Amino acid sequence: MNRVLVTGATGFIGRFMCEALARQGHTVRAAMRALGPLPAHATECAAMGAIDESTDWNRALDGIDAVVHLAAKAHAMRPSEASSQEFHATNALGTQRLMQFAVKAGVRRFVYLSSVKVNGEGRADSPYTPRDTPDPQDAYARSKWLGEQAVSGIEPGLPPERVIVRAPLVYGPGVRANFLRLMRWVEGGWPLPLGAVHNARSLIGVCNLVHLLAHVLSHPTAAGNTWMASDGQDLSTPALLRQIGVAMERRVRLLAVPLPLLRLAGGLIGRAGEITRLCNSSTVDISATRRQLDWSAPVSVTAGIERTVQWYRDEGRLLVV
């Protein structure tokens, strides 16, 4: 088994990642912003401070066999919440810096969690694949694309073996942002103006995502490739809301507001981006991931949403969206 450094170990995905790796018998070292309580299932820690172009990774990588790089400046709900410089510093330059140190440290495999937003903001005619020409539309997506290039481009042909995984929206216990807001809407029983939306979106439950990331950590075919991730079942926004409603035992009331009017209202209240994400289609093709990696999502969408709703009932109601 390996000694694995997990960046972003205290985050939403990182906590599940540490658990998945520990259950497989790996020794987990958690890269943390500051010293504090270890994440559950991690046995070592490294305090890193901010992740940017000046981070010193020497101690964190000492004796490490593999890296799972999850830490990132997250996509902002509104443009004002984060500057393009912040995204670039952490997601592009920070990843480049980590990759440089990983090469020098002799790390054998490096797994980088990227985003389907590198492909674009969604399209109705066909799902995204790793072969598509990248079309990042905002500062976050561009920084993740630059991060991918840093992973692939630094000392190509030399260790570590590099694996890139592009994920769509991730949900599960501990989720924030849009998915948390959807659960609050359903619980509140408010009429939602999304009945006229006929889209399809790929999602991935956090347990499915970390299962895939742990899988590519050792699979021989994974190295040197970019893989798309999802639950394997695409949902429309109304279907997702109904699934949440079933898990909550709440009736979901959907009003068929015409999409042009809905988009206009979103722009007027400063939520144009959020409305776009709720209305547009954005799907990914995971056929290569399934076939070449012999992988399938272990948790169904229904079970994943039920787990997320149970967490919401226990803890999520208290969180600030």
pLDDT of residue 82: 61
Predicted confidence at residue 78, as pLDDT, reads: 54
Residue 31: predicted pLDDT: 95
Residue 36: the pLDDT is: 83
The HSE-up count of residue 223 (CA atoms within 13 Å, CB side) is 14
Range 113-152 burial, b when 16+ CB lie within 10 A, else e: bbbbbbbbbbeeeebbebebebebeebbbbbbbbbbebbe
Q: Residue ranges per domain, the chain? A: 3-169+205-230+284-298
Active site annotation includes 312: no
Strands (E), 77-224: 109-115, 161-167, 169-171, 203-205
Helix 177-188 and helix 272-279: axis angle, to 10°?
80
**According to the model, what pLDDT value does residue 83 have?**
82
Instruction: Please list the ranges in the chain whose pLDDT falls under 70.
Output: 1, 75-82, 319-321
Give residue 321's pLDDT. Answer: 56
**CATH top-level class for 3-169+205-230+284-298?**
alpha beta
> What is the crossing angle of helices 259-268 and 272-279, to 10°?
150
Question: Three-state DSSP class for 62?
Answer: coil
Catalytic entry in 128, 140, 171, 312: 140
pLDDT digits (tens, 9 = 90+) for 272-299: 888 888 899 999 999 999 999 999 999 9
Distances (CA, A) of 129 to 78, 138, 225, 227: 27, 19, 12, 8
Read off the pTM: 0.94
Tell me phi and psi for residue 165, to 5 degrees.
-120, 125
pLDDT value for 268: 86
Longest distance between any two alpha carbons in the chain, whole Å? 58
